[in-house]
Amino acid sequence: MVNEQEIWTKLNKTFGVLELLTSSAIQGQCRSLIIYGPPGLGKSYTVEKTLENSNSSSVVIKGGCTKIGLLRTLYAYRNKGDVVVFDDCDTVLLDLDCISLLKAACDTTEQRKISYFSNMVIYPEDDELNPIPSMFDFNGTVIFITNTDFEHAAKKLQPHCDALVSRSHYIDLQMKSKWDYFVRIKQVVALGALNNIGLEENEIVDVVRYIRENIDSLRELSVRMAIKIGQLRKEMDNWRDVADVTCKRMK
């Protein structure tokens, strides 16, 4: 018998720590934070909401990042209180120059210096007159939001992941089972994830009930799936039939 209340309490604690450490990062007290968990279950949502409610200067990098782009970003957000967020941007781990820059940015030494010596003159994106110095102090904070378990990464990535974990606070959100996923979806829905769709309270209840009833057959258990089903609930009378065809795996 699944105890949803126990799972709810566990996830409340974990995501409460995530909010606390994100706030600490914004204040410059936490230099580096790694957040690991399955996709589509509120990692980015929690971090971005916390950033929105602050006065911090921050940037969120998604997709990919070159070493020149990384250097420019670290220079632009080098001051205390600045936050650089890498959201599902694990490609930076595949470039040794990027790894070296990140190690320097996340270091635990009292003074963090980032150096990049090259024959190429590199300018900030918004300044074509004053080049980025070959060495500068970095006092900002770096946050990694990732679907990759840094403690059990691919063999070629493990040394680099270990180096970053050693320099960071590491949060494993401990979502392993389908019931963990479902309860987390309920929590994010309760926080307003479906509000933009314009659903009535009873319609939101219908969406959550549908996910629970089909927990074993949905293509994925995520907030994105809840939004998809919510949109169908809002727009179509036969939304269940459409969701059965478009959101469930065929047996």
| 160, 220: one domain | no
- Laid out side by side, the sheet with 83-87 consists of 58-62, 83-87, 141-146, 32-36, 169-172
What is the model's pTM? 0.85
Q: What is the pLDDT of residues 10-38, one digit of tens each?
A: 999 999 999 999 898 888 888 899 999 98
Q: Are 39 and 181 in contact (CB under 8 A)?
A: no
Which pLDDT score, from 0 to 100, does residue 103 have?
92
Q: What is the pLDDT of residues 150-187, one digit of tens each?
A: 888 878 888 888 999 999 999 999 888 999 999 999 99
| 163, 58: one domain | yes
| Domain contains 55 | yes
Q: Mean pLDDT, the chain, as a whole number?
A: 90
Q: How many domains does the chain have?
A: 2
Q: What is the pLDDT of residues 73-104, one digit of tens each?
A: 999 999 988 999 999 888 888 888 889 999 99
| Domain contains 251 | no
Which domain range does residue 50 map to? Answer: 4-172
Percentage of the chain modeled with pLDDT above 90: 55
N- to C-terminal Cα distance for the chain? Answer: 25
Q: What is the pLDDT of residues 202-231, one digit of tens each?
A: 999 999 999 999 999 999 999 999 999 999
Q: Are 146 and 90 in contact (CB under 8 A)?
A: yes
